Amino acid sequence: MSQAHIRAAMSGQPNCGKSTMFNAITGGSARVGNYPGITVDRLEGTYRKNGYDIKLVDLPGTYSLTSYSMEEVVARNVIVDEHPDVVINMVDATALERSLYLAVQFMEIGAPLVLGLNMMDEVKRSGVTIDIKRLSQLLNVPVVACTARLGQGREELMAEVVQLAKDTKGLWTPIRLSYGPDLDPILERMTKRIEEEQFMTGRHDPRWVAIKYLEGDELVIEAGRAAGPLSAELEAVCAEAEQTTRANSNTTPDAIIADWRYGFINGLLKQGVVTGGDELRRNISDNIDRVVTHKLLGPLIMAGVLWAMFYVTFTLGAYPQGWIEDGFTWLSGLGTAYIPEGYVQSLIVSGILGGVGAVIGFTPLILIMFAMLVFLEDLGYMARVAYMMDKVMRIFGLHGMSVMPLIMSGGIPGGCAVPGVMCARTLRSPRERLATILTAPFMVCGAKTTAYLMLVAAFFPASPTGAMFAVVIAAWVFVLLVSRLLRSTVVKGESTPFVMEIPPYRLPTLRGVAVHTLERVWQYVKKAGTVILAVSIVMWAVMTFPELPEDTVASFDARRFIAEEQVRTANPQATGEDLDTLVSEAQKPITDEQNEAALQYSVGGRVGSFLKPVTDLAGFPWQANIALIGAFAAKEVFVSTMATAYSMGEVDPEDATSLSDRLAADPAWSLPAILSVFVFMLLYTPCMVTVVAIAKESNWKWALFSVGGSMAFAFVMAVTVYHTTRLFV
Amino acid sequence: MSEPICLRQLPVNTQAVIHSVAAAGELGRRIRDMGIVPGTTVQVVGRAPLYDPVALRLRDFTLTLRNSEADHILVIRQD
């Protein structure tokens, strides 16, 4: 059976429920990809019904189609370059007027449009009636009422897509809006010249090009200058137009165009489309916000929410974490029992199970943390946080929207700098974005959380929550201060517009939260299965080879033999098991000494000792040296390397002493050394993956700056902390 | 009809009609894209705990602006 193929694009403003509808339509078929050269995610999915095969691409959410942000450029380019058969525009029907502003711009380009009026349940509840039929007639566009969170309107929407694709057959007809007596004649003139010269008409509608010139769209004008000499003529006309509009109404052409677009929408809605309601009415969200963003209560509630997230994560997450650790202990036991002693056993038990197990053990914590974060995001609380925090963030040269990438990176522990750095894309200012990207890796990401949890359990067993809280506060302080420093030195410049919508509170759907959470947790587990597995093996090899020379091993064997003989002579009556216990007790210090000697003899140990004169300034124990080197690959490796460093050659699989206990028992970890490692861990070079992400989001120059700068800064801070604390201890 | 005043000076819970938007470039574009064009009725619904940014209600949704951005917007108070 042959299928008819339709290519459709899904568009909409932020918070319009576009993703929910996209998921409802494509089911589990969606695949994440990338637009070439940039890092905006490209989501694609398919919908099949009645012999139609509809390929759907999800455009980034934008309010408009200017060229000020990467998202807007992407959305526009997909429409212009890929020329989809149909564009679905999801619309927040509770804010119809503003939402149609984007729809009108799609109609100006000429794309065949299907409007999905989302949130119709909320509209009904607020006592407003929208005459769908009338709206459809006036716009001359099919309109479908939807409630995406319930999946309502999905089939009808897709039926309209099929119908529209059949009707238009790929033919685009841009609408001709009037932009008033000042601009219309000028537009007419420009359009005519563009048509005559066939100026960029292969890609764009002539009148649309003229509008973009009048709007001063940098990308179109730049492309125009490359396309031909007509550009200079058009720019001259634009300058003339600006003189006219300045003289007549003291404003610029782009302002007039926006006015007339809104005028068109407003006039249309007044023709009986929307009845009832009051556009300034207070809704439930406004009432909630009177408390949630209250002068005093707001910040208190925010602190409370953050604290609650901690509490829930660490208390609730402890149970599954324990089960997973038990599972890995059991697996290690199996490995020791069934794999013959030697390199393979050592590799699997110490290297792989020890390394990966330590990381996987933290998955439940990250799952719980992510679920709460996604919930707060979808609820709309994060926008309130940005609103409340902007004034503070601005002091440090950041933006209210920086809060989000910072939180994602681990401003609430459990995040990850990779999505954090990537989500800094929502920042329109290149400078604030750069400062955010460069400092976000200081935050306590999930990987560092694992390291800190282990260290905190070892050294501050009495108040783990308090210690973790202190680490997080320290992270924020460093991020803000360093941002300020960067914004007044290497990334100087003015701040950018804040202009932001505060969406109404909307209870997220269980499915939405689950899908997003699992996606992120899966990324983490994948990292554990690939990078960390590889690094665990490499680290194991680095710490195993070269082995101690035979004569050294022989001397340890001899000492063990002597110890055994001494035990036998001292306890002539002891036999069987009792004797074995006594012997192994006597031999243990010798074995430990041998293990330590072996590790120091290995490549890892040698690098560690080589760096020791330097790291001694910061008081690091030598195991931390190796672990911190390994952690550049992925911060989780810190825990697994420490585990390897402290358990390598362990003969007794029944020994349940956890890594934390072993650390606590090691006298090398004095309080100054502990604090020094804590600070260094927080600030030093981001992991490999983050460095790559930084390079992708900015360029390699900044990525290398991040590597070198963080390392130097972290070392200076660690040395300072070490020596300052030593004065008091 | 009263004289246009700066949006920053508009107290919480008062209504006003946009008189003009003086901002140009990106800021002007962002402000207009969100529906702040002459003739629009707005109401200040709140201010952040540190008095800045300001939250506005217009066209059935809530928008926030920094005070420094509100300085570019002139409004006519409706009492």
More confident residue, A339 or A118: A118
In this predicted structure, what is the pLDDT of residue A700?
A: 86
∠ CA A373-A377-A383, rounded to 5°: 130
Q: Do A65 and A161 lie in a common domain?
A: yes
Q: Is B12 at the interface with chain A, CB within 8 A?
A: no
The predicted pLDDT at position A32 comes to: 67
B1 pLDDT band (50/70/90 cuts)?
low
Which of B7, B12, B33 is best to mutate for the A interface (most A CBs within 10 A)? Answer: B33
- If asked whether residues A158 and A190 sit together in one domain, one would say no
| Chain B residues within 8 A of A263 when measuring between CB atoms | 37
Q: Provide the pLDDT confidence category of residue A39 given band limits of 50, 70 and 90.
A: low
Identify the closest residue of chain B to A279 by CA–CA distance: B60
Domain final residue pick, A142, A168, A194: A168
Residues A55 and A146 in one domain: yes
Interface membership of A85 toward B (CB under 8 Å): no
Q: What percent of chain A has pLDDT over 70?
A: 94
pLDDT of res. A648: 44
Contacts of B26 in chain A (CB under 8 A): 68, 428, 496-497
> Would the pLDDT of A658 be above 70?
no
Residue A394 has pLDDT above 80, yes or no: yes
**pLDDT tens per residue across span A257-291:** 999 999 999 999 999 999 887 766 667 888 899 89
pLDDT of residue A377: 81
Which pLDDT value is given to residue A382?
82
Please indicate if any CB of chain A lies within 8 Å of the CB of B41.
yes
Secondary structure (H, E, C), A181-237: HHHHHHHHHHHHHHHHHCCCCCCCCHHHHHHHHHHCCHHHHHHHHHHCCHHHHHHHH
Quickly count: other Cβ atoms within 10 Å of residue A39's Cβ: 13
Please say if the pLDDT value at position A509 is more than 90: no
The pLDDT, as a whole number, for residue A40 is 64
Cβ contact (<8 Å) for A258 and B27?
Answer: no
- What HEC string does A255-294 produce? HHHHHHHHHHHHHHHCCCCEECCCCCCCCHHHHHHHHHCC
Predicted pLDDT of residue A650: 42
Q: CB pairs under 8 A, 24+ apart, for A405-410?
A: A405/A436, A405/A437, A405/A440, A406/A436, A406/A439, A406/A440, A406/A443, A406/A476, A406/A479, A407/A373, A407/A382, A408/A373, A408/A440, A409/A440, A409/A441, A409/A443, A409/A445, A410/A443, A410/A444, A410/A445, A410/A446, A410/A448, A410/A449, A410/A475
Listed in sequence order, the residues at least 6 apart from A725 whose beta carbon sits closer than 8 Å to its beta carbon are A671, A672, A675, A676
Q: Which of B14, B64, B71, B73 to mutate to test the interface with A (most CBs of A within 10 A)?
A: B64
Q: What is the pLDDT of residues A234-257, one digit of tens each?
A: 999 999 999 999 999 889 999 999
Residue A99 belongs to a domain? yes
Contacts of B43 in chain A (CB under 8 A): 280
CA-derived radius of gyration, chain A: 32
User: Are B35 and A262 an interchain contact pair (Cβ–Cβ within 8 Å)?
Assistant: yes
Identify whether residues A143 and A207 lie together within a single domain.
Answer: no
Percent of chain B having pLDDT more than 70? 99
Confidence tier at A35 by pLDDT (50, 70, 90): low
The pLDDT of residue A346: 81
CA distance A584 to A587: 5
The tokens describing A712, both together, are 């130097």
Spell out which residues of chain B touch residue A286, defining contact as CB-CB under 8 Å.
Answer: 45, 57, 62
Estimate to the nearest angstrom the gap between the alpha carbon of A76 and the chain centroid: 24
Tell me the C-alpha to C-alpha distance, in Å, between residue A141 and each of A11, A152, A447.
15, 20, 50
| A294–B55 CB contact, under 8 Å | no
Greater model confidence, A340 or A643: A340
Contacting residues of A for B32, CB less than 8 Å apart: 254-255, 258-259
Q: Which residues does chain B have within 8 Å of residue A254's beta carbon, measured at their own beta carbons?
A: 28-29, 32
SS3 track for A27-56 = HHHCEEEECCCCCCEEEEEEEEECCEEEEE
- In terms of CA atoms, which chain A residue is nearest residue B28? A255
Beta-carbon contacts below 8 Å between A and B: 138
pLDDT at res. A547: 86
How does strand A86-92 pair with strand A113-118?
A: parallel
Rounded Cα distance between A202 and A126, Å, is 46
Residue of B nearest to A256 (CA): B37
A289 touching chain B per CB within 8 A: yes
Contact residues on chain A for B40, CB-CB shorter than 8 A: 262
A211, part of any domain? yes
Kindly list the residues from chain B whose CB atom is less than 8 angstroms away from the CB atom of residue A500: 63-64
Check if B49 contacts A (Cβ < 8 Å): yes
In a domain, A56, yes or no: yes
Q: How confident is the model at residue A1 (pLDDT cuts 50, 70, 90)?
A: very low
Q: Which is higher by pLDDT, A493 or A433?
A: A433
B49–A262: do the CB atoms touch at under 8 Å?
A: no
Supply the range of the domain harboring residue A205: 180-275
Does the distance separating the beta carbons of A98 and B34 come in below 8 Å? Answer: yes
Interface contact B65, partner A, CB < 8 A: yes
CA torsion, ordered A576, A578, A582, A584, to nearest 10 deg: 60
Of A75-84, A170-179, A568-577, A694-703, the range with the lowest mean pLDDT is A568-577
- Tell if the CB–CB gap between A498 and B61 is shorter than 8 Å: no
Higher pLDDT pick, A643 / A430: A430
Candidates A367, A451, A495; CA nearest to A682 is: A451
A302 interfaces chain B, CB cutoff of 8 Å: no
The total number of structural domains in chain B stands at: 1
**Based on the domain organization, do A142 and A189 belong to the same domain?**
no
d(CA A348, CA A327): 15
- A residues 370..409 contacting B (CB < 8 A): 387-388, 390-392, 394, 400
Task: Output the pLDDT for position A385.
Answer: 87
The tokens of A700 are what? 């390699």
- Closest chain B residue by Cα to residue A105: B33
- Same-domain status, A16 and A138: yes
pLDDT at A598: 82
Q: B63 to chain A: which residues are within 8 Å by CB?
A: 499-502
Q: H helices within A602-685, ranges in order?
A: 603-615, 622-630, 637-647, 659-665, 671-683
- Residue A696, classified by CB atoms within 10 Å of its CB into exposed (0-12), middle (13-18) or buried (19+), is middle
Helices A446-459 and A363-379: crossing angle, nearest 10°? 120
**Above 60 in pLDDT, residue A596?**
yes
pTM: 0.81
Does the beta carbon of B3 lie under 8 angstroms from any beta carbon of chain A?
no
| Integer Cα distance of A218 and A66 in angstroms | 9
Identify from B15, B29, B67 which residue to disrupt to test chain A contact, counting A C-beta atoms within 10 A and taking the largest count: B29
CATH number for the domain harbouring residue A262 = 1.10.287
Alpha-carbon distance A134 to nearest alpha carbon in chain B (angstroms): 20
Q: Report the pLDDT value the prediction gives residue A240, as an integer from 0 to 100.
A: 94
Mean pLDDT to the nearest integer, A702-722: 95
Kindly determine whether residue B29 and residue A66, on different chains, have CB atoms separated by under 8 Å: yes
Backbone angles phi, psi at A272, to 5 degrees: 80, 15
- Residue A567 CB neighbour total at 10 angstroms: 19
| ipTM confidence score | 0.96
What is the pLDDT at residue A473? 92
A125 and chain B: CB distance < 8 Å anywhere?
no
- Give the pLDDT confidence of A520-564 residue by residue, as tens digits: 778 667 766 777 778 778 878 887 888 889 899 899 899 989 988
Are the C-beta atoms of residues B32 and A258 closer than 8 Å to each other?
Answer: yes
pLDDT digits (tens, 9 = 90+) for A97-137: 999 999 999 999 999 999 999 999 999 988 899 999 999 99
Task: Tell me which residue in A258, A282, A503 faces B33 most closely, judged by beta carbons.
Answer: A258
Which chain B residue is nearest to residue A104, measuring alpha carbons?
B33
Residue A221 lies in a domain: yes
- In the listed set A168, A197, A212, which residue is the last one of a domain according to the structure? A168
Write the residue in A94, A250, A502 that is nearest to B55 by C-beta. Answer: A502
List chain B residues with CB under 8 Å of A255: 21, 28, 32, 37
Q: Let me know if residue A100 belongs to a domain.
A: yes
The pair of structure tokens assigned to A268 is: 């249309």
- What is the extent of the structural domain holding B25? 5-78
Radius of gyration, alpha carbons of chain B: 11
Mean pLDDT of chain A: 86
Q: Is the dihedral of CA A695, A700, A706, A712 positive or negative?
A: positive
Task: Residue A279: list chain B partners with CB under 8 A.
Answer: 41, 58-60
With b for 16 or more beta-carbon neighbours within 10 A and e for fewer, the A369-383 pattern comes to bbbbbbbbbbbbbbb
The pLDDT of residue A37? 56
Domain assignment of residue A134, yes or no: yes
Q: In whole angstroms, what is the distance from residue A559 CA to residue A561 CA?
A: 5
Question: CA of B66, closest CA in chain A: separation in Å?
Answer: 6
The angle that helices A671-683 and A464-487 make with each other, rounded to 10 degrees, is 50
CATH number at residue A75: 3.40.50.300
B17, B39 Cβ separation under 8 angstroms: yes
Answer whether A97 touches B (CB < 8 Å). Answer: yes
Whether A255 and chain B come into contact, CB under 8 Å, resolves to: yes
What is the tens place of the pLDDT at every residue in A674-709?
Answer: 999 999 999 999 987 788 778 878 888 999 999 999
Three-class SS of A703-721: HHHHHHHHHHHHHHHHHHH
Single residue among A233, A257, A275 that ends a domain in this structure: A275
Considering the domain boundaries, does residue A672 fall inside one? no
pLDDT at site A657: 47
**pLDDT beyond 70 at B16:** yes
Rounded Cα gap, residues A666 and A681, in angstroms: 19
Instruction: Please count the structural domains in chain A.
Output: 2
pLDDT (0 to 100) of residue A654: 35
Confidence of residue A221 (pLDDT cuts 50, 70, 90): very high
Q: Is B60 on the interface with A (CB under 8 A)?
A: yes
Go through chain B and tell me how many residues it has: 79
Q: Which residues of B touch A98 (CB under 8 A)?
A: 34-35, 59-61
CATH of the domain at B45: 2.30.30.90
pLDDT in tens, A363-389: 787 788 778 878 888 898 888 988 998
In this structure, the number of other CB atoms found within 10 A of the CB of residue B48 comes to 25
A17 and A45 housed in the same domain: yes
Chain A contact for B66, CB < 8 A?
yes
Closest-CA residue to A621 (of A548, A718, A549, A547): A718
User: Are B46 and A299 inside 8 Å of each other by CB?
Assistant: no
How far is residue A19 from each of residues A14, A192, A474, A516, A582, measured CA to CA in Å?
Answer: 10, 40, 36, 11, 66
Residue A701 in any domain: the answer is no
B53 contacts A63? CB cut-off 8 A: no
- Mean pLDDT for A403-431 is 78
Q: Which chain B residue lies closest to A67 (C-alpha atoms)? A: B26
